[in-house]
Amino acid sequence: MRAIRIHEYGGPDVLRYEEVALPEPGAGEALVKIDAAGINYIDIYQRKGQYPDPLPVIPGREAAGVIDAVGPGVSDLTPGTRVVYAMHVGAYAEYAVIPARRLVPIPDAIDVRLAAAVMLQGLTAHYLTHSTYPLQPGDTALIHAAAGGVGLLLIQMAKRRGARVIGTVSTEEKADLARQAGADEVILYTQADFEAKTRRLTDGRGVHVVYDSVGQTTFDKSLNCLSPRGYMVLYGQSSGPVPPFNPQALSAKGSVYFTRPNLMHYTLDRAELLKRAGDLFDWISAGTLTVRIDATFPLAEAPLAHRRLEARRSTGKLLLIP
């Protein structure tokens, strides 16, 4: 089969399109023929070595396709079943072996590419808004990278839960997308100080929660945007890792909370995974959750896709098509 592999860490050019052996499923596993693989910022961290894996490695943590074969002990999934998964390495390929417990059947009403586009980012937006800081009517949330794949989903889910949403973006085009998703206020951080603007928009009170996937360049000001006992939720670091800081700062800024969540810890068992994924599929089928696919790329063009994402030119989801 053909796949993208990383033999050394570095820029997009380390993503090599090459022939590799077709894997076989073991006990409790399934072989999935991949129809579409999602591209996520965690793939860039993996490519750079921030999240190191033994090399060579096939990157990618999200894909959808059809079960080709199952290993011993798999009884609830059969060949021919359409499935989607997230948070298992090896998606940039024509086939992947995945633990059966991590596979979610795709409802008939959901297109396979749409399933691939929503799984990792949709599950992330779900746990952030429903579990990490469960938004309530009357809450105000500040969402960075509001026109990105997770950002657009976060806005919609926050509005479902009755929250007021302030989003930050870099361009007018992205601001329009954030507003279309439901954002109440949008700040162009390239034109205004988002901390000062957030304070003005909240009459100096601050927000109940900041959902921050940017990290280094936004972290300090994000803390300053919180109301007393507010939640700083750092779920990514697209601008780089946050430097060490003194926990005393959390007290000084209003006894605020800080957490660095991970999707794996919010899908600890199969029941939790299926519940969150089921909500996503139900909302999509009902037309109350919109998933924006920004662009698709042939598998061989993974380096080009990474450049687009890393340059923050994407507005929605990027997919690789084997």
CA distance 71 to 179: 47
CA distance 63 to 311: 23
CA distance 20 to 1: 6
State the alpha helices, DSSP H only, in the chain: 41-48, 112-127, 149-160, 172-181, 194-201, 219-224, 248-252, 270-286, 302-310
The answer to whether 242 and 258 are in contact (CB under 8 A) is no
Amino acid at 179: R
* R_g of the chain computed on alpha carbons: 20
Residue ranges and CATH numbers for the domains of the chain are 2-120+267-321 (3.90.180.10), 137-260 (3.40.50.720)
The answer to whether 202 and 140 are in contact (CB under 8 A) is yes
For the chain, give the longest Cα–Cα distance: 61
CA distance 228 to 285: 38
Q: What is the mean pLDDT of each run of 10 residues along the chain (322 residues)?
A: 98 98 97 97 92 93 98 96 97 98 97 97 98 98 94 97 97 96 96 96 98 92 97 91 91 97 96 98 97 96 96 87 97
CA distance 101 to 111: 21
Secondary structure (3-state) at 271: helix
State the alpha helices, DSSP H only, in 73-231: 112-127, 149-160, 172-181, 194-201, 219-224
CA distance 257 to 22: 46
CA distance 293 to 173: 16
* Ramachandran bin of 175, using left for φ above 0, alpha for ψ from -120 to 50, beta for the remaining angles: alpha
Secondary structure (3-state) at 198: helix
- The pLDDT score that the predictor gives to residue 240 is 84
> The pTM is what?
0.94
- The pLDDT score that the predictor gives to residue 313 is 81
**Nearest to residue 222, comparing CAs of 253, 248, 200, 201?**
253
The answer to whether 16 and 93 are in contact (CB under 8 A) is no
